[in-house]
Structure 1
Amino acid sequence: MLEGDLVELVPLTPDHLPDLRRIRRTPEVLARWGEPEDDGNDDDVTCFTILLDGAVRGMVQYGEEDDPGYRHASIDIYVDPDVHGRGVGRDAVRTLARHLVDDRGHHRLVIDPAADNAAAIRCYAAVGFRPVGVMRQYERDNDGNGWHDGLLMDLLATELR
């Protein structure tokens, strides 16, 4: 378990899946993440359930590049719209970033929101992530009919707020 100022990050378990699927199907999260396809058992990422006052409020995950010449970690997150604007996402990202820097030894982290996701970009910037560049037509639209740009942001360990 990782403790933040507001949230606890606990390893995702099957008991969390009904709440996480409900959150994934809210219009706000569905628009960014699409229909839930799996149960968080991807070997390439480590998933944590975001708990706020003991209730499931989202999911945050990380992946690691372990090649010594390119070592870094990436973060993805979604948060229940019922708690948007309360600092839950910011605290979850900061808590996971601290774990990745302090416990996992990463010197650099990346995150890649859709370029038009202003709320997510503000959240990540508050933690210390900086825009690096726009990745054109980076991600398929959820309807499968087009592509949209992503914003690559990174954070060096010394910049973590």
Structure 2
Amino acid sequence: MLFQKGNLLIRELEWKDKYLLSKWLSDPEILQYYEGRDNPFDVKKVEQKFFEAEADATRCIIEFDEGPIGYVQFYEVDEDERQTYGYSDSIETLYGMDQFIGESAYWNKGVGTQIVRAMVAYLIQEKGADRIVMDPQTWNERAIRCYEKCGFEKVKLLPKNELHEGEYRDCWLIEHISKAVVDV
């Protein structure tokens, strides 16, 4: 277990979770927002992407009310991404994160906001993050509203940043700055 906050638990990905990820990432309702409906995952593809790929991110399962409902990953932003995002001259500790709720029954109930707030607190307090960044697609207004409620702000438009359903989509670079950085 990475941490628990109330009825929310974040734990590192385990081998048995490949079946959950395959279930979620083969559901068109979920794929519409994460990976794309033209890119479903079977168990073998999950194994390759989430277990055999180089572990540059900490990959986790989100549990809520004692059941798995989604996925979150976080990572220290590498030099290439720093360059793309405009942070190449910064010496700050910069983390990125990605997440999705794989059980759509938990959408629009404030659970996403709880997840993002808890992850932000964890990254600042436990990992020493000065700044946390994400790059949601511009059309995903529900996710962007959630992130803004959690203290993220739009920094710049990233044109044609992510391949999604056969076309490159614009994304927003959004950031959350830890209070320690703001108070300096």
2: CA distance between counterparts of 1:150 and 1:66?
A: 19
Offset at 1:71? 2.7
Higher relative strand content: 1
Q: TM-score, normalised by structure 1?
A: 0.88
Q: Which runs of no fewer than 5 residues in structure 2 stay unpaired?
A: 80-89
Bigger Cα Rg: 2
1:1-161 to 2 correspondence within 5 Å? Answer: 1=1, 2-34=3-35, 35-36=40-41, 37-39=45-47, 40-41=50-51, 42-65=54-77, 69-79=91-101, 80-142=103-165, 144=166, 146-158=167-179
Offset at 1:54? 1.5
**How many residues matched?**
157
2: CA distance between counterparts of 1:21 and 1:82?
A: 18
Q: CA RMSD in A?
A: 1.9
Instruction: Write the deviation string for residues 64-83 of structure 1: whole angstroms up to 9, x where unpaired.
Output: 03777253000100102121
Structure scoring higher RCO (CA < 8 A, sep ≥ 6) equals 1
Contact 1:135–1:151 under 8 Å retained in 2: yes
- Which amino acid is the alignment partner of residue 77 of structure 2? E
2: CA distance between counterparts of 1:93 and 1:13?
A: 21
Q: Which runs of no fewer than 5 residues in structure 1 stay unpaired?
A: none
2: CA distance between counterparts of 1:38 and 1:17?
A: 6
2: CA distance between counterparts of 1:135 and 1:49?
A: 28
Q: TM-score, normalised by structure 2?
A: 0.78
**Percent of aligned positions that are identical:** 25
Contact 2:138–2:172 under 8 Å retained in 1: yes
